[in-house]
Structure 1
Amino acid sequence: MRPVPDILAPGISVVFIGFNPGCRSAETGHHFAGYSNKFWKLLASAGLTPYQLKPEEDSTLLRYGYGITNIVARPSRTAAEITKEEYHIGREQLKEKLLLYKPAIACFAGVGVYREFAKQSGVRCGLQPVGIVEGVIDFVVPSPSGLTRILFQDQLVYYQELARLIQDSSHS
């Protein structure tokens, strides 16, 4: 399985951060490409994109000021296959990317992703009290994976909260 390239550029306002690419993403070369993944539907439903993008359109996120990366680049069937060493290396690489691209908001697509990055337990969805990288706001949304048992409407609440945060941070 091949890695999926980051979608990052200077001036992005939000970077979405996943665990690592799944099998379908590795096959297609596009982020959040799993058939049951709700990422693209959640973005559109929350008004973060004007319509529901297809995974093949992932690079168009840059038009809206968004980017995508992962805490670990190596694709796998499940996040459970990621090793402690891979998380350690990925954590440092992600900090470097956040320092380099300086997005206003780092949006972690899953509590587990943020738990690994921040090395904190008791993480909840929503705005985090303190950002790990200075000058970057940390925000956590539920994982859009089809394996997630959280109802779509309950997930959408956090994507809508993110949309309000983006709006507020662009006006300040």
Structure 2
Amino acid sequence: MTPPPPAARDGGVRRPSRAELAGAAGGTIADVGGPGLRVLFCGINPSLYSAATGWHFARPGNRFWPALHRSGFTERLLHPSEQAELPARGLGVTNVVARATARADELAPAELVAGGVVLAELVGRWRPRIVAVLGVTAYRAAFGRPRAAIGRQEHVIAGSPVWVLPNPSGLNAAWQLDRLAGEFARLRAAAGQ
């Protein structure tokens, strides 16, 4: 299910209503990208807000887009509605699990493992230079890597090196924006901007 973006109002973007958010539960959003990416960013799963809008990392307070900009991946701060601009910059976005939930902790461990298999198939088709998983706990569960830490991994997915980044959710208080952007910048350097 890929719902249309919310209607614009006064030059801005309308926030989804409570009914739209409730209706987004279990929904999915389309991957952004294709073959030959420098970095394929992989979230844990879409939030209800993202599923309601059709945009990755769309929930206000999510720090993905600001970290992407502050780290130098983008020359300006992109709004989630501009996600289609990412492939021209060699960037893409997907999720480990396609099913939208209110919180990532609603996912069963088996869903993460199954999502890891689906992600490996996508990586095999697209062959990004680096796969960046945003969330160390989800990465550990999906790929059976209980000791994984933030940064480059020894593990590869379908031949592509893996880099684990902190979850950019506003709920991840341990990683404030400047520190998060620093990790994104380390990835950018490794990806050869």
Give the distance between the partners of 1:15 and 1:132, measured in 2 at CA: 11
Structure 1 unaligned regions, length at least 5: none
Pairwise CA RMSD: 1.2
Conservation of the 8 A alpha-carbon contact between 1:118 and 1:132: no
CA contact under 8 A between 1:18 and 1:113: conserved in structure 2?
no
60-69 or 120-129: bigger deviation = 120-129
Residue deviations 1:28-87 (CA, integer Å, cap 9, x gap): 010000101000000000000111100001111011011111010000001111123322
Of 102, 105, 119, the residue aligned with 2:127 is: 102
Cα distance in structure 1, aligned partners of 2:166 and 2:109? 22
**How much identity, in percent, do the aligned residues show?**
32
Deviation at 1:8, TM superposition (A): 2.3
Of residues 15, 24, 45 in structure 1, which corresponds to 2:70?
45
SS in 1 for 2:155: coil
Matched residue SS, 1:164: helix
Q: 1:22 aligns to what?
A: 47
Write out per-residue CA displacement over residues 122-160 of structure 1, whole angstroms, 9 at most, x where no aligned residue. 2211111232332x1100111100100122222122111
Partner of 2:96: 71
Alpha-carbon distance, 1:99 to partner: 0.5
State how many pairs are aligned: 167
Shift of 1:88: 2.7
For 1:138, the equivalent position in structure 2 comes to 162
Determine the C-alpha separation between the residues in 2 that align with 1:76 and 1:62: 26
Aligned to 1:4: 29
* Paired AA for residue 146 in structure 1: G
Counterpart of 2:6? none
Q: Taking CA–CA contacts closer than 8 Å with sequence separation of 6 or more, which of the two structures ends up with the larger relative contact order?
A: 1
Gaps of 5+ in 2: 1-23
